[in-house]
Amino acid sequence: MRLAEQLDSKRFLLTGVTGFIGEALLQRLLVDLPGATALALVRPKPGQSGEDRLRAVLRKPIFRAAGDVDDLVATRVQALEGDLADVPELPSDIDVVVHCAGDVSFDPLIQDAFTTNVLGTRSLVERTLEASERGHGAVHYVHVSTAYVGGRRRGAVPERAVDHQVDWRTETDAGLRLAARIEEDSRLEAQLKAFLSAAERDHGRAGPLSVAAGAEERRVKWVAERQVAAGKERARTLGWTDCYTFTKAMGERLVEEIAAPVVPTTILRPSIVESAVQHPHPGWIEGFKMAEPIILAYGRGELTEFPAAPDSVIDVVPIDHVVNAILKASATPPPLSQPAYYHVSSGSRNPLTFRDVYEFIREYFTEHPFDSSPAVMPTWDFPGGRAVERKVRAGELLTSAGDRLLALAPRSERVREASRKLDQARRQIDFGRRYMDLYKAYTEAELRFVDDNTLALHRALDPADVELFGFDTSVVDWRHYWLESHCPSVTTQMRKYEEIRRRRTLTEASGPRELKPVAEGAAPVLAVFDLAGTLLPGTVVDSYLALRLSALDAPARVAEFGRIVRHLPGWIAAERRDRGSFLRSLFRGYAGVDLDRLEAYVDDVHAPRFLEQVSSDALRRIQAHRDAGHRTILMTGDVRQVTRPLEGLFDEVVCTELDEERDLGGHRRANGFLTSPPLVGEARAAWLRRYAEVEGADLAASYAYADSHVDVPLLKTVGNPTAVSPDVPLFRLARASRWPVADWAASSPARRLRVPQLVLAGTD
């Protein structure tokens, strides 16, 4: 019989239709098997029902040949809203259940792997057995597993149950308890102190909420890393490659014990599933699989070696061969208690080695390079895993040393360029580390998946179905597949990304975004500017020296400058912990200063010199905001006296106010204290949110300009942040967040502390 006749009027229950295999399977059912219908188990998401998600799948281009989405949902496919964690009751008219869903990550969290691959499978099997009892006949249960489920063995792998004595119930319970214990350990006092200490080093200047967020981010990362490591080590101690293959094996054993004695059961094991040979069209693929990151990294020149044996087989199978095998297996139910096993693979009869793949992708990129490809593509010598490990480890040590040096370097375009190159090098090294850790066991595996059952199943196809539904991988021309289909398909998206990255680089070079005038009647738009390091080079220490020393004679100037130098190391350390405390300590030096005289000095003497230092680009940007009808705000931790020359440019000046007293002569004198805490870090963001609320301003349309990682909370408050002459942490965040980067305050590598000429001036 033709396959369409065998599956005519059959109703399928499919899991994983939003994933790679499940989507391809649903497409073939709807396009090429007009008599079949499907019920898709789809997990709802916040704001999106299961049917909404199914409709989103059906709107993809590969489903156009199936017909109108509304018609399909009305007649051919419906959504069953639910989750593998709690599968709802299945209809009694189901004929075939195909379980494609699962955690397919090679390094999953241990609880995710067991919850999905074992407990989710049990939930589905139990519902299948219930539906079979109520229905018109036994439901055929088809379980999609992986060819690597056999673990770390060598040689021929037969199409039968994996030989092991591991109890899936015991291991599932133990794995979930281990995950819970790691979570509990992350909340112990000593561990929390370590997270908090590390977060304070990085975010202490921004404020306590930033520190708290950083500490929790570290805790979550710590839990994930340890759960991944624990799952992997448990798998290895039992003979499996990783937690993924281990839990898939546990899921298979569950199916063999619970499903096979009651309903016809098929276990189908694809190897490495990659893009289509023919259906729905050559090269079709969804997302990145095992080979794609390696291909793209090689094409960018970032993968100079690979820890694989050149003659090891990389067992690749096209997605349409996997789907065709599932469909034919679905039409061929085995007897009860005799589950059928099928390896959908290529290595046994059409082997493809790592050296073959390397030569194909090298040839492809030599002819079709990326814009970022090197002039000469890397040559792989296949030196072995140990040699690659030494190279990766050396790179990790060098990038760590580079990070420490950048932390000490003054801000400049040269330093930012160095950080950009260091980040690029780190990405390459991290990529090498990740894929070496993930794939080493697979790249060095010496496995041959026997596929006699699969070949017999293929030969059972009606001859008229072979072209449309065939899955004999021996007919695949690997050279044509890689050079003419797979590589062009997987690099298409990368070429689009390169164009986006090119535009992003132009955005970085061109500085802030174009301004939009405020429409009549619209909410106010704010433009917030930091001062020191943003509008002009230098720090608050520079301005303090310039103003404070103006009131002293020459000997007193030298003495005060000496005091600053002595305290500077301690102030720098304090500033890294708490910028507010640092400013309080620094401004204590204003005690006793005649404020009237100080302000007269600023207006008459200091202002011209001060304005000369303000970036002309910054002044033009401020004026552009004013011309656009935006409300301009100067926000600084410095004292108001410093801001006097700029007050005419801004609608609001938010700064530090010196507390004052009047002496017997009626003169205003600073007493060394402040009228309120300095506005720094998170306090700036809080002030801006409150100001916008009171004034009815539109923060999403507003702008902010700052130079320091301390001001990240402020920059994140508005919809249009710009990093100006940023320090390295802010520069990295700006690039990751695609924020514009401008260079106003430091047209040359300016020192962060400049000694005012007042210190060197003689007495009058």
DSSP string, 226-277: HHHHHHHHHHHHTT-SSHHHHHHHHHHHHIIIIITTTS-EEEEEE-EEE--S
Q: Is the dihedral of CA 45, 49, 51, 55 positive or negative?
A: negative
Q: Which of 47-56, 159-168, 739-748 has the lowest mean pLDDT?
A: 739-748
Distance CA 345, CA 156 (A): 13
**At 453, is the secondary structure helix, strand, or coil?**
helix
For residue 343, the tally of other CB atoms under 10 A from its CB is 26
pLDDT higher than 50, residue 598? yes
Per-residue confidence (pLDDT) for residue 756, from 0 to 100: 40
In this prediction, residues 353-364 reach a mean pLDDT of: 93
The DSSP element (H or E) to which 700 belongs, if any, is none
**At 190, is the secondary structure helix, strand, or coil?**
helix
Per-residue confidence (pLDDT) for residue 760, from 0 to 100: 36
In this prediction, residues 336-346 reach a mean pLDDT of: 96
Nearest to 550 by CA among 260, 756, 749, 304: 756
Of 367-381, 511-525, 567-581, the range with the highest mean pLDDT is 367-381
3-state SS of 718-762? CCEEEEECCCHHHHHHHHHHCCCEECCCCCCCCCCCCCCHHHHCC
**275 and 414 in a common domain:** yes
Per-residue confidence (pLDDT) for residue 63, from 0 to 100: 96
**Residue, of 210 and 456, whose pLDDT is higher:** 456
In 198-229, which positions are buried (b, 16+ CB within 10 angstroms) versus exposed (e)? Answer: ebbebbbbbbeebbeebbeebbeebbbebbbe
In this prediction, residues 535-543 reach a mean pLDDT of: 82
Tell how far CA 602 is from the center of its chain.
49
Per-residue confidence (pLDDT) for residue 400, from 0 to 100: 82
Amino acid in the structure at residue 67 = G
Q: Can you give the residue range of the structural domain that contains 395?
A: 3-487
In this prediction, residues 220-241 reach a mean pLDDT of: 93
Task: Indicate the angle between helix axes 682-695 and 208-237, nearest 10 degrees.
Answer: 120
**At 86, is the secondary structure helix, strand, or coil?**
strand
Contact 106, 128 (CB under 8 A): no
Per-residue confidence (pLDDT) for residue 759, from 0 to 100: 35
Pair type for strands 140-144 and 265-270: parallel
Per-residue confidence (pLDDT) for residue 392, from 0 to 100: 77
**554 and 411 in a common domain:** no
DSSP string, 498-553: HHHHHHHHHHHHH-SPPP-PPPTTPPP-EEEE--BTTTBSS-HHHHHHHHHGGGS-
What does the chain come to in residues? 764
| pTM score, whole prediction | 0.79
Domain annotation covers residue 567: yes
**362 and 243 in a common domain:** yes
Per-residue confidence (pLDDT) for residue 503, from 0 to 100: 66
Backbone angles phi, psi at 258, to 5 degrees: -100, -45
Distance CA 759, CA 560 (A): 9
pLDDT higher than 90, residue 586? no
Per-residue confidence (pLDDT) for residue 575, from 0 to 100: 59
pLDDT higher than 80, residue 560? no
Domain annotation covers residue 516: no
CATH number at residue 660: 3.40.50.1000
**233 and 174 in a common domain:** yes
Would you state the structure tokens that stand for residue 436, as one six-digit string? Answer: 């070496």
Q: Which residue, of 431, 466, 487, is where some domain finishes?
A: 487
Distance CA 739, CA 507 (A): 9
User: Residue 292: which pLDDT band, with cuts at 50, 70 and 90?
Assistant: confident
In this prediction, residues 225-245 reach a mean pLDDT of: 92
User: Residue 508: which pLDDT band, with cuts at 50, 70 and 90?
Assistant: low
Distance CA 277, CA 279 (A): 7
**Residue, of 551 and 123, whose pLDDT is higher:** 123
Distance CA 366, CA 301 (A): 11
Distance CA 259, CA 252 (A): 10
**Residue, of 296 and 75, whose pLDDT is higher:** 75
Domain annotation covers residue 493: no
Nearest to 611 by CA among 646, 639, 647: 646
**537 and 424 in a common domain:** no
**316 and 175 in a common domain:** yes
pLDDT higher than 70, residue 682? yes
Domain annotation covers residue 254: yes
In 666-702, which positions are buried (b, 16+ CB within 10 angstroms) versus exposed (e)? Answer: eebbbeeebeeebbbbbbbbbbbeebbeeeebbbebb
Contact 344, 322 (CB under 8 A): yes
pLDDT higher than 70, residue 603? yes
Domain annotation covers residue 741: yes
Amino acid in the structure at residue 566 = R
Nearest to 211 by CA among 716, 715, 712: 712
Distance CA 489, CA 276 (A): 10
Q: Each residue of 225-234: pLDDT tens digit?
A: 999 999 999 9
Pair type for strands 652-656 and 741-742: unpaired
Would you state the structure tokens that stand for residue 248, as one six-digit string? Answer: 């898939």
Per-residue confidence (pLDDT) for residue 752, from 0 to 100: 38
**589 and 480 in a common domain:** no
Domain annotation covers residue 496: no
What mean pLDDT value characterizes the chain? 87
Contact 111, 120 (CB under 8 A): no
Q: Each residue of 649-665: pLDDT tens digit?
A: 999 999 999 998 987 77
Distance CA 172, CA 250 (A): 8
Contacts of 14 (CB under 8 A, 6+ apart): 22, 25, 26, 38, 39, 40, 41, 98, 100
C-alpha count within 13 angstroms, C-beta hemisphere, residue 701: 17
**202 and 276 in a common domain:** yes
Per-residue confidence (pLDDT) for residue 571, from 0 to 100: 63
pLDDT higher than 60, residue 757? no
Q: Which residue, of 487, 513, 541, is where some domain finishes?
A: 487
Contacts of 685 (CB under 8 A, 6+ apart): 713, 714, 716, 717
Would you state the structure tokens that stand for residue 146, as one six-digit string? Answer: 């992986």
**Residue, of 325 and 299, whose pLDDT is higher:** 325
Query: Which position has the token pair 């009606």?
Result: 462
In this prediction, residues 731-755 reach a mean pLDDT of: 67
Backbone angles phi, psi at 754, to 5 degrees: -110, 130
Contact 92, 135 (CB under 8 A): yes
User: Residue 188: which pLDDT band, with cuts at 50, 70 and 90?
Assistant: very high
The Cα angle at residue 239 between residues 290 and 312, in degrees rounded to 5:
45
Task: Indicate the angle between helix axes 413-443 and 292-299, nearest 10 degrees.
Answer: 140
CATH number at residue 441: 3.40.50.720
Instruction: Provide the number of structural domains found in the chain.
Output: 2
Distance CA 571, CA 583 (A): 9
Contact 207, 683 (CB under 8 A): yes
Q: Which residue, of 440, 456, 487, is where some domain finishes?
A: 487
Per-residue confidence (pLDDT) for residue 749, from 0 to 100: 38
Would you state the structure tokens that stand for residue 733, as one six-digit string? Answer: 């965040």
First to last CA, the chain: 111
pLDDT higher than 90, residue 407? no
**184 and 52 in a common domain:** yes
- Burial class, 337, CB count within 10 angstroms (exposed 0-12 / middle 13-18 / buried 19+): exposed
The DSSP element (H or E) to which 458 belongs, if any, is helix 452-459
**537 and 471 in a common domain:** no
Per-residue confidence (pLDDT) for residue 213, from 0 to 100: 92
Domain annotation covers residue 287: yes
pLDDT higher than 50, residue 182? yes
Q: Each residue of 40-78: pLDDT tens digit?
A: 999 999 989 999 999 999 999 999 999 999 999 999 999
In this prediction, residues 391-405 reach a mean pLDDT of: 81
Per-residue confidence (pLDDT) for residue 435, from 0 to 100: 67
pLDDT higher than 80, residue 290? no
In this prediction, residues 447-472 reach a mean pLDDT of: 95
**At 157, is the secondary structure helix, strand, or coil?**
strand
User: Residue 30: which pLDDT band, with cuts at 50, 70 and 90?
Assistant: very high
**564 and 454 in a common domain:** no
Nearest to 144 by CA among 101, 82, 106: 101
Q: Is the dihedral of CA 531, 533, 537, 541 positive or negative?
A: positive
pLDDT higher than 50, residue 150? yes
Domain annotation covers residue 135: yes
**156 and 275 in a common domain:** yes
